[in-house]
Every structure is written in structure tokens, then in C-alpha cells.
Amino acid sequence: MTKLSVNINKIATLRNARGGNIPDVQKVAVDCEQFGAQGITVHPRPDERHIRYSDVELLRPLVTTEFNIEGYPSDSFIKLVTTVKPHQVTLVPDPPDAITSSEGWDTIKNRDFLMDIIGEFQRHGIRTSIFIGTEPELIEGAAKVGTNRVELYTEPYAIQYPDDPATAVKPFVEAATVARDAGLELNAGHDLNLDNLRYMKLNIPWLKEVSIGHALIADALYYGLQNTIQMYLRQLRD
């Protein structure tokens, strides 16, 4: 079964809008695991507008499934990750002021940079994943820089899915096949939701993990967090 990692950034966004500690980010992470999530994802940004670096440090001893930290590998991010030592780090090529991630790495242009960063994380025993588009040459480039996994950037799939699911998923199946043939394990994330997740899973059954935050937390406003997590897990069952 493909693992579900819940991105809790939006919980921190809600907390930060008012100040104080409501909702409690640490408690929500623990609750997500108790409700069935097989991982917790956070994406700290330099301005700490949602998840704070201090949140990451507090979460590490609490997360008992898989802890995944996403972000751009700035000096401060690298220090945080190598200190906290999550199970997985996902490298995202977004600038500090980005609202959300919007593209994958150019693994050819950034080959030396990525090799150095990935080597550093792997020396600390941290599995690495690279946020990537569907271009075969860039996926093959990801294998050459030594990453363990790639995470397919699925926003283009989500946009096209309502009109033409088969056309939407085709480049992702092809990309997933390239990744598998290159010896890379596969994650996916960005704009996956209750409508489009199962179709992605059925077409790429060897997906190791999906990371879902915005849609899942939005659904939880209507269905409740425990029920929502179970609804997403049902979409991922073989």
C-alpha cells in the first residue's frame, strides 16, 4: 500500500494567524498518526509563516511513523535537517518568497549542487527525495546525483484530471516508469485530493508515498480529521 504522509503546514498557518497555540501543531501530528497517517510532512520556510523551525525540533521525538521535512536546501535548512535527522528530506527548488512549490529541479543544471547536498544528508543517514517534473532526462539526472527517491510534482495532473484523466496521468506513468528503471523509488505530491488520488494510484501502483496537506486539511473542515484521513487511506488501498 502507498503510504499517506499528512502535511501539517496548514495547521500551523491557522495557529499563526491568531497567535498562541491553537490549534496545537504537535498534538495534531500525533493525532494524525493515531488516525492512520503513515507519515508527517512539514515544509519550513525562512520566514516561518507556517511551520517554524522550533516546531520541527518539537515534532521530531513525537513522530513515530515517518518524518519528512521538505524545503530548499539553504544553509539554515541543511543545519536544521542534519540536527533533527528526519527519516526523509525532500529537496524543493522554491525561492524563499514562494507561496507554494511550483516546479521540479533541473537536475542537469544543478547536478554538482545536488550531489553535494544529497551526500551530506546521506552521511547523516537521512533518505533523500528530489521534487521533480515529468521530463525523462531530468529524472535520469536525479538518479545520477545519487538521490534515493524522486517526488513527482503532480499539479499539472490535478489541473487536467477533471477534463481528461487518461491524458492527465499519461506523462506521470511514463515518468514513473523512467524513475523505476533508473533504480529510484517514487513519491508524489501537490494538489492530490479525494477526486484524483485513486486514479493516480491505480495507474502507478508502485508509488511509495504521497504527501498531502492543503486538500486534506480543507476536507477535514467538513468531514473531521479522523474521518478524512481514513477517506484518503481508502483511495490508496490496493
Q: Please give the full DSSP string across 74-126, using - where no structure is assigned.
A: -HHHHHHHHHH--SEEEE----TT-SS------TTTTHHHHHHHHHHHHHTT-
Lowest mean pLDDT among 31-40, 92-101, 175-184, 214-223: 92-101
Would you say residue 98 has pLDDT above 80?
no
What pLDDT is attached to residue 67?
A: 98
What pLDDT is attached to residue 46?
A: 86
Would you say residue 101 has pLDDT above 60?
no
For 12-65, the pLDDT digits (tens) are 999 999 999 999 999 999 999 999 999 999 999 988 999 999 999 999 999 999
CATH code, domain with 118:
3.20.20.70
Number of domains in the chain: 1
Q: Are 125 and 159 in contact (CB under 8 A)?
A: no
Give this prediction's pTM: 0.95
Average pLDDT (61-75) is: 97
Distance, CA of 132 to CA of 65 (rounded, Å): 24
Residue range(s) defining the domain that contains residue 62: 3-236
Confidence of residue 87 (pLDDT cuts 50, 70, 90): very high
What pLDDT is attached to residue 214?
A: 96
Average pLDDT (194-205) is: 98
List active site positions: 43, 70, 190
Give 7-71 as a DSSP string.
Answer: E-HHHHHHHHHH-TTSS-HHHHHHHHHHTT-SEEEE---TT-SSS-HHHHHHHTTT--S-EEEEE
Task: Say whether 127 sits in a helix, a strand or coil.
Answer: strand
Grid coordinates representing 154 are: 503532480
Task: Say whether 230 sits in a helix, a strand or coil.
Answer: helix
Task: Say whether 138 sits in a helix, a strand or coil.
Answer: helix
Confidence of residue 103 (pLDDT cuts 50, 70, 90): confident
Q: How many percent of the chain have pLDDT more than 70?
A: 97
Distance, CA of 92 to CA of 200 (rounded, Å): 21
Higher pLDDT, 164 or 103: 164
Q: Are 187 and 153 in contact (CB under 8 A)?
A: no
